[in-house]
Structure 1
Amino acid sequence: MKSETPRTNGILAGLARFCYRRRRLVLLTWVVGVIVVAFAGFGYGAAPDNDFSGGDSGSAKTQELIEKHFPEQQGDTLTLAIKADKGIDDPAARQKIEKTIADLVASPVTGPVISPYQDKDLVTADRRIARTVIPLTDQDVTKDEVKPLVATVKNASDDGVTLGLGGYMAEKAETPPQGSAESVGILAAAVILFIAFGSLVAMGLPIVTALLAIAAGLALTKLVGHLVPAPDFTLIFGAMIGLGVGIDYALFIVTRYKDGLRDDDGPESATVTAITTAGRSVLFAGTTVVIALLGLVVMGQRLMTGVAVATSITVLITMIAAVTLLPAFLGFTGYKINSLRLPRRASRRVGPPPQERRTLAERWAGVVQRKPLIAAVLAGASLLLLAAPMLSMRLSQPDASVQPRDRSSYISHEILSEGFGPGYGAPLIFAGEVGSKGADLRPVVEAVGKTEGIAHATPLRVSKDGQAVIFMAFPTTGYQDEATVDLVHKLRDEVLPRAPGGEEVLVGGPNAGTIDAAEESGSRLPLMIAVVIAMSMVLLIALVRSVTIALQAAVMNLLSIGAAYGVVVAVVQWGWLGPALGFPAAMPVTTWVPMMMFPVLFGLSMDYQVFLISRVREEYERTGDTRAAVAQGLARTAKVITAAAAIMIAVFTTSLLGPDLAVKQGGLGMAAAVLIDATIVRLILVPAVMELCGKANWWMPGRRAQKAPSPPQSEKVTA
């Protein structure tokens, strides 16, 4: 087989020449296009949709029944929690409490409120703790409209009376915006690029290219939201992923362009070479990420499909920018790509030419290849050890109990837990249709109320049409407690079927809905993993023309992702270093985080595999020596992959600076995965396994023997 050389007459080569020569037209088209799309997307895009309900679960059916027969129940509510050291009947305390309630009722977004002074059931026996429900009059109330209510309650608290406002909208209202996390990520990426390239010009190209692509991608995401709705965290994740892959893709192409200039190619020839080699790998790698993200569609959840489509669009735009906008920028820079260099770089030319010295990466590859079995076992054992906590992973949704301690919603949770039990914030809603039979479901209420783990069950409430009934029950355990999950299963599987008429009663509410969503996600996750692996392997086989390497990549990626899951469980669920990393309390992993992490991480891991193996393949086709090809491929890509991984880690880690606990979990997991992948996997496991496999690395069914290059006698085949 002849050595692979960059094609000068293919589609990519033609595209690179066009963008280079018509650089002003290409840049103008991009700038105008981004402005138009940004104006349309950010001005007229769809609002986020955070309604994860739906499906065939018991909680989803309960919600449908309530919407049908209890339309008055649809509005959201807030809960005012009150704690008075001298009791709520103390004159000073009563004056403050009544004034606060009056201020809340005066808001245009709230409905009538029953004062705890009017209903003794809203007050504890010692009359130190009380509660009341604040109904919101409109289902479309925004968090900006609720912020004044939260401020009113916080400002009313003093040493003698503590007030807290809880509820979903209260949590949203006092959650600060993401802030400058992305800006910190961009700054960190700029520093890493400057260190890697030693040039301000070379540093700027990947960042500018990525930022323009992200602006267009996020705007398109908002527009597509009219057709495929997505939750509010989608833009944050899209920005993180787009920034990471956008800078990385441009980094690989700029690095190859600089290599071409060092090989005495002219700027246009170096651009064509960069796009036909690194650009080709970018397209394959980006397509892998898109395919992996679209694997979320397999989960069968409406909003996760929206996340998949939205983030895929952002990655797709970054790919297009890398092979069109970047060549245009290279046309403007030409030989000035190395302008504004670091002063200390000049001395590095002294001494023998680079090709006569073995780089640190090449020497490291030699160390691993001398003891490949030991290296592979140690690396594999390390990954399995890191992945071990994954076996105890629990899924749920963050609630008030895991919010920062200064939040009004957390204060409300603490007061209510103290006065009415930890299960007050985790009520279960029971609903059933009675129809014309007029079935008496009071035995069901009695059976539920007597169940161990239930603190209190409310009386039956009949719908206005007389066709359905509902009642609530409060567990003795909290929203995040595993005992609450067991209680829901016990009620569904044992208590309700044994009670007269109980087989027709459904269990729902936010608590049961979270449990159902977690179990549905857990059951569908293996299918998504299988689909993503299968499709990605087909793509990798097409690129490197080797079944063995595709299998290696799949197994290694699974190990690194499993290790990342283990890190998330240890930090988030077990609480190891949790407070230091911005997690106020130990909590289950957010339900959608593992779903989102897998396709993103599998795609990104494939990125590094593509860039490394593509270079190894080039060297193998040139020399026919697997050992030398691995060493040379690692040597030529180690610096750029390390820089790319450092950028990814910096971008993902900045999510820890933000307020959203779920986004922070995802950012932590992805940063850990990239770190593990770029060190244990790429530097140890890949060279060790490829050394063990020898010529078998390049096995492909149907390939004729004469097509393979003849390896030198020195090659050691250990397969």
Structure 2
Amino acid sequence: MSSREAIEEQKGERYVTAPRHWAVTYRWLILALTLVAVLGAGIAAAGVHGRLVDGGYFDQSAESSRAERLLTQRYGSGTPKLVFVARSTGAVDEPKAAAAGQRLVTELAAEPGVVYVHAPWSPPTPSLLSADRHAALLTLAIAGDDQQMTRTAQRLIQKYAGARPPLTVEASGRLSVNRYAEQQSRRDLVSSEMIGVPLVSAVLLVVFGSVLACALPLAMGLVSVTGAMALLDLLARHYPVNVFALNILTALGFGLAVDYSLIMVTRFREELDRGLEVSDAVRATVRSAGRTVAVSAAVVTLSLCALLFFPTPFHRSLGAGAVAVVCLAGVAALVVQPALLALFGRRLSRRPVRVRWWRARGADAPDFWARLARAVLRRPLAVLLTVSAFLVLLAVPASGARMGFIDEDWLPRDAAPRLAAERAHAEFPVLNGTTLTALTPQTPAGSPAADRMGRALSRLAGVDMVMGAEGSFRDGRRLAAPPARPAGGVGQGTWYSLTTQAGPYSATAQRLVGTIRAQKGAGPVLVAGETASLVDMKETLARHLGWAAALVITAVALLLFFFTGSVLVPLKAVVMNLLSLTVAFGAMVSLFQDGLLSRLLGGTATGHVDPLIPAVVFCIAFGLSMDYEVFLVARIREEYLRTGDNERAVVAGLQRTGRLVTVGALAVVIVLGALAASSLAVLQELGVCLALTVAIDATLVRCLIVPALMGLAGRWNWWAPAPLLKVRALVLSRLARARLPHRPPRTSRHVRG
């Protein structure tokens, strides 16, 4: 593309993309409707906390989920997810304590939603007694979906945990952890906002030097957060929404709203400094920065749509909420923000607050960013190789990731469920191994085939004992006869409980799940339990993540092509984003799995990475990283269309957006990083990894690698095959038909010197 062609294309785009100045004409109406909407959203979102659940983590169509439902509904069995430990100053099997324990078991078994209660008193079960006989273990299976199980567990813990003379009862187990996480996330939401909002305000005040200009991005953040809460409340009325969605989406919505508003206000002040009247400055801002915001919001939305491809309610609810929040932030920036710009006008250009070391420079004055761009362009290959090698080094720990679900190790050291679980594991060795439940729905209970299956399962490597409806087995021998069956004799289907000393998330236990499922019998062998759920989750994510990533990357690349008219720019953007993401995955392992940071934040090493988190980080971080790519490339392209000089365009683009991208990224880093103030490792991990990805992307990638690559590519940055350019021109021309011509802007007499 020649310089003359580039200039002509820019002129054509100015003509066809000029919007109407409706924001100036209807500013009071827009702001009044926005105020009403915010107040209504605030009222509607008042009860959002009560509708969120700590669940939705599993694919209900997976084999382990189907096995759990069959065990609960048909056989009155299932994986125990709630544990009570009854303690006494004396032996819990003494008459008085035993009678109190029996009453406790009877009351628990009669509670709605309780499938069974296993306790050491009847029949006597020594493995459920501590070595000093001062503590008894009660394991409960709960019926229902995630929301029903969580509500049942909350009711049981509130009713039965505490002093029940002569016993003292404390709760632990997965549902106890979920209950604590649900309650703590509400408190952490307030604490993270108390940290993030003041820090972002201080940054904006330093950047703009004006309280009024600082207030506009914060107002957009308020609109976005209030709308996000109302949208989550609406979604939670019809679909299970995870409790962590509120913390994540409010932080994401606030950060993006501030980011988009920062771009609009900065460009508006630039247009005023050029001498335009307020109405024309608003129009020019919407035409240039507004288009960038629209493309950025579309890119982030497409990235978050990948979450909708996963079958887990956790991912889908988070994806639906995130898409709505990003769209809301974009609409606020493109509709409400121009009305505010028109309302306050030149008052936004005043800088009554000045910081000596933060000097506002003219557009053409040499500054740090211009010098940095020229330095990179002098040694582009060396910069590219050095920074890329450094990022790859940061990503190396990701190769040591171990997968496992969130458990008590993800809670603070002093959390009651964690302390109870640690005491229980120390007192009851039966909790330290892994229990898997094998279900054979087509094998008649009490039949020779059922006996052969029990013996075969007990011979598997790593299996210590097999118990269940067919009796007890070890090393291929029957140790105990099955319990008495009701009249009718042989029934359809049976189940076996297998114990192993391997940890629930160990490679040995995961291989054992596959071995059990491969057993031959009268029909399929289904497996339930924590390990089986982990195996199914990994397979589900691997099956869906590839397709989701491919579709999202393709859609984003096409959108960037129509935005830039280049084939290389979208390809480069995707590769750079993936490089940034590998750093986030490396941080998950080194900072939290291995505990380098989690210990400093009040917890311990989690020991593993929850398989749900990488998909969330991928989708959100990919969108945020592409966000800054759009900001930078849009300005470089604008300069290239104006001058036709690639190197000059790269320097000018980084000079004009370097500070903007850095400040915008800093605001997002602060908001997301404030999640590290949470006492829950899952929120800490999400916040820190996302903040780290944004920080690296906005500094090392956008300020060093991208200029180096664009300097090396030269004019090839803007090349595309002729057929693709024709398609692009056709699409853009059709989109432009509904737009009105743009009259020349009026120059103001108040030109800033």
Query: TM-score band (shorter)?
Result: 0.7 to 0.9
| Correspondence for 1:690 among 710, 721, 724 | 710
Partners of 1:675 and 1:202 lie apart in 2 by 24
* Alignment CA distance shift 1:293-1:450 (3 Å): same
CA contact (8 A) 1:230 1:304 kept: no
| Range with greater deviation from structure 2 (239-248 or 102-111) | 102-111
2:139 and 2:254 mapped to 1: Cα distance? 43
SS at match of 1:549: helix
Give the AA of the match of 2:495: I
Alignment of 1:401-550 (within 5 A): 401-421=409-429, 423-424=431-432, 426-434=434-442, 439=447, 440-460=449-469, 466-493=491-518, 496-497=519-520, 501=522, 504-550=524-570
| More divergent stretch after superposition (110-119 vs 536-545) | 110-119
Structure 1, 665-674 or 518-527: larger mean CA deviation: 518-527
Q: Are the counterparts in 1 of residues 433 and 501 from structure 2 also a CA contact under 8 Å?
A: no
State the AA in 2 paired with 1:61: R
Q: Which residue matches 1:130?
A: 136
Q: Hey, what does 1:709 align to over in structure 2?
A: none
Determine helix, strand or coil for the equivalent of 1:589: coil
1:403 to partner: Cα distance: 2.9
User: Which one of the candidate residues 50, 59, 65 is aligned to 2:55?
Assistant: 50
Q: Which amino acid aligns with 1:405?
A: R
Whole-angstrom distance in 2 between the partners of 1:106 and 1:488: 30
Q: 1:630 to 1:402 in 2, by over 3 A?
A: same
Of 308, 322, 326, which residue of structure 2 is paired with 1:297? 308
Quick check: 247-256 or 696-705, which moved more?
696-705
Q: Does 1:27 align with 2:52?
A: no
Deviations 1:113-147 (A, max 9, x none): 66534423322465355311356698736569737
CA deviations on 1:563-603 (whole Å, 9 max, x unpaired) are 11111121122222321145422322112111111121111
Between stretches 576-585 and 643-652, larger displacement belongs to 576-585
Q: 1:355 to 1:331 in 2, by over 3 A?
A: closer
| Alpha-carbon contact 2:67-2:527 (below 8 Å) kept | yes
Give unpaired runs (5+ residues) of structure 1.
Answer: 706-719
- The aligned runs of 1:79-118 (5 Å cut-off) are 79-81=83-85, 88=92, 94=97, 101=104, 116-118=120-122
Between stretches 585-594 and 420-429, larger displacement belongs to 420-429
> 2:675 aligns to what?
655
What CA distance in whole angstroms lies between the structure 2 residues aligned with 1:423 and 1:88? 19
Find the aligned partners of 1:490 and 1:84 in 2 and give their Cα distance: 42
- How far the C-alpha of 1:417 sits from its partner, in A, is 2.7
- Correspondence list, 1:201-600, <5 A: 201-339=212-350, 341-344=352-355, 354-355=362-363, 357-421=365-429, 423-424=431-432, 426-434=434-442, 439=447, 440-460=449-469, 466-493=491-518, 496-497=519-520, 501=522, 504-600=524-620
1:297 deviation in Å? Answer: 2.7
**Contact between 1:458 and 1:472, CA under 8 Å: does it hold in 2?**
yes
TM-aligned CA deviation for residue 616 of structure 1: 0.5
Q: Pick closer, same or farther for the CA change 1:109–1:614 going to 2, 3 Å.
A: same
With over 3 angstroms needed to count, the CA separation of the structure-2 counterparts of 1:75 and 1:436, relative to structure 1, is closer
Distance 2:658 2:195 in 1: 25
- Alpha carbons 2:505, 2:531 under 8 Å: kept: no
Q: What per-residue deviation string (whole Å, max 9, x for no partner) do you get for residues 16-42 of structure 1?
A: x21222111101111222333444455
Structure-2 change in CA distance of 1:103 and 1:647 (3 Å): farther
Cα distance in 2, alignment partners of residues 11 and 698 from structure 1: 20
SS of match in other structure, 2:590: helix
Give the CA deviation at 1:91.
9.9
Unaligned runs of 5+ in 2: 471-482, 726-753
Task: Summarize deviations over 1:192-245 as a string: whole Å, max 9, x none.
Answer: 111111111111101111211231233123323445543222222211211111
SS in 1 for 2:548: helix
One-letter identity of the residue aligned with 1:448 = L
State the shift of 1:614 in Å. 0.6
* Alpha-carbon distance between aligned partners in 1 of 2:711 and 2:351, rounded to the nearest angstrom: 41
- 1:166 equivalent to 2:172? Answer yes
Whether the 8 Å CA contact 1:104–1:149 is kept in 2: the answer is no
Q: Is the 8 A contact 1:214 1:317 kept in 2?
A: no
Instruction: Give the aligned length.
Output: 692
Pairwise CA distance, 1:97: 8.0
After TM superposition, give the deviation of residue 671 of structure 1 in Å.
0.8
2:200 corresponds to 1:196: no
What residue in structure 1 maps to residue 732 of structure 2?
none
Tell me which of 66, 78, 81 is aligned to 1:61.
66
Contact in 2 for aligned 1:572/1:578 (Cα 8 Å): yes
- Of 238-247 and 147-156, more deviation after overlay is shown by 147-156
Q: Aligned with 1:504: secondary structure?
A: coil
Tell whether the 8 Å contact from 2:434 to 2:501 is kept in structure 1 after alignment: no
Q: Contact 1:109–1:138 (CA<8 Å) still a contact in 2?
A: no
Letter in 2 for 1:354: G
Whether the aligned pair in 2 keeps the contact of 1:455 and 1:475 (CA below 8 Å) is: yes
Query: The residue matched to 2:722 in structure 1 has which SS?
Result: coil
- 1:36 is aligned to 2:56: no
- Counterpart Cα distance in 1 of 2:424 and 2:28: 64
Q: 2:19 aligns with which of 13, 32, 35?
A: 13
Q: Deviations over 1:372-394 (max 9, x none)?
A: 11000001111111122222223
Q: What letter corresponds to residue 511 of structure 1 in structure 2? A: T
Conserved? CA contact 1:423–1:478, under 8 Å: no
3-state SS, counterpart of residue 404 of structure 1: coil
Higher mean displacement: 353-362 or 187-196: 353-362
Cα distance, 1:411–1:163 mapped onto 2, change above 3 Å: farther
Q: 1:301/1:98 Cα in 2 relative to 1: closer, same or farther (>3 Å)?
A: closer
Conserved 8 A contact 1:143-1:169: no
> How much does 1:303 deviate?
4.1
Matched-pair contact (CA < 8 Å) for 2:282–2:338: yes
TM-score, normalising length: structure 2: 0.83
| Percent identity (aligned) | 26
Following the alignment from structure 1 to structure 2, what is the Cα–Cα distance between the partners of residues 347 and 589? 41
Q: Is the 8 A contact 1:299 1:524 kept in 2?
A: yes
How far is the alpha carbon of 1:357 from its aligned partner?
Answer: 3.3
Aligned equivalents of 1:512 and 1:574: distance in 2?
Answer: 24
What amino acid is the match of 1:59? S
- Partner of 2:643 in structure 1? 623
Q: Which residue of 2 aligns with 1:610?
A: 630
Name whichever of 376-385 and 661-670 sits farther off.
Answer: 661-670
TM-score normalised by structure 1 residue count: 0.87
3-state secondary structure, aligned to 2:19: helix
Deviates more, 1:216-225 or 1:512-521: 216-225
Residue 638 (1) aligns with residue 658 (2):
yes
Kindly state the Cα deviation for residue 53 of structure 1 after the two structures are TM-superposed.
3.7
Distance in 2 (CA, whole Å) between partners of 1:418 and 1:157 is 24
**Secondary structure of 1:458 counterpart:** strand
What amino acid is aligned across from residue 25 of structure 1 in structure 2? L
State the Cα distance separating 1:170 from its structure 2 match.
1.6
